[in-house]
Structure 1
């Protein structure tokens, strides 16, 4: 089935994309084009789980939900799969979360998609109006927090190993790269 999808040579509509159903590939839709990345590494997944665990208590207290690797509709025809999102209350049985429900989005940089996370997705998330963008960089062992200001992300903090990021919005949490990142 996958080869037929990728060999078609024409833009894909959101309806066609959603009709694919669940796949074993990590497939995102960018304005009619499919973007496919390999499965994340175990290190990537450990970081994602640890971050979700650290954010969960603050999210619960604020009435928010933390989720990993879910479909987010940034606009019609543009559906991404961020590594982690913090949302308002949503329908947990819907296959796609609308951007308006997402308060914080997080990407964990992988060598295979670093430019996509730092440039393309950052731009798409800003255009969609997602208020907070958290970028975890395992290679440099840093966490970068961006806030949406006047339609663009402004870097609010860079947290390196040994330091602590204190989140106050959209939830209260304390995150340290040392707590997230397995030994190099």
Structure 2
């Protein structure tokens, strides 16, 4: 985390006992060294010089991600709907959201997408990353200016859509099982938790 960023909550409460801790390989880790790591089984993100690693997604997580991307893509109007891509929020801060809606003019051969090309970012909450998705990543995405943030909680069966207002996200709408979440920006689509979330 960036110690010079006054809005970053500097507390170990973000990383509970089930949450993998940031890794250190001779801090600070540069973005060039981070990108040189290449493909790994784990998901490794760059948090201001620290590497944050989580295990490979569970099948449930992957099912939700694929269903969400499939639901968004037909209405994306030439935008790209991508899963698990590197998004540069700022120099030295590269996160890997579960699903992203990006502009049509991205370079599809580059390993990193610039945040200016992202209009919607989605994270799927799981026990190993709940606090990170709800607090840290939400703060980082807001600070980077991404207009919309969709949080999918498959444990509670809920969808939470947040809209950037000023420098913070404000909850725009929610949907539980049996309900529908209506998006009008950046895509117009109806999302139903029952269609996205496998039964338990």
TM-score by length of 1: 0.94
Cα distance change of structure 1 residues 7 and 165 upon mapping to structure 2, 3 Å threshold: closer
Question: Which runs of structure 2 are paired with 1:38-117 in the superposition (5 Å)?
Answer: 38-59=55-76, 62-89=77-104, 90-117=106-133
Partners of 2:84 and 2:72 in 1: how far apart? 15
What residue number does 1:21 align with?
38
Partners of 1:37 and 1:127 in 2: how far apart? 23
CA displacement at 1:8 relative to structure 2:
3.2
Partners of 1:136 and 1:66 in 2: how far apart? 16
**Long gaps (5+) in structure 1:** 1-5
Question: Which runs of structure 2 are paired with 1:3-22 in the superposition (5 Å)?
Answer: 8-22=25-39
Write out per-residue CA displacement over residues 57-112 of structure 1, whole angstroms, 9 at most, x where no aligned residue. 100xx221100000000000000000000000211100000000000000000100
Partners of 1:7 and 1:55 in 2: how far apart? 36
Partners of 1:140 and 1:10 in 2: how far apart? 37
Larger helix share, 1 or 2:
1
CA displacement at 1:24 relative to structure 2:
2.2
CA displacement at 1:18 relative to structure 2:
1.1
User: What secondary structure does 2:81 align onto?
Assistant: strand
Partners of 1:45 and 1:8 in 2: how far apart? 29
Partners of 1:175 and 1:26 in 2: how far apart? 26
User: What secondary structure does 2:67 align onto?
Assistant: helix
Partners of 1:96 and 1:9 in 2: how far apart? 23
What residue number does 1:134 align with?
150
Please provide the CA RMSD for this pair. Answer: 1.0
TM-score by length of 2: 0.86
User: What secondary structure does 2:199 align onto?
Assistant: coil
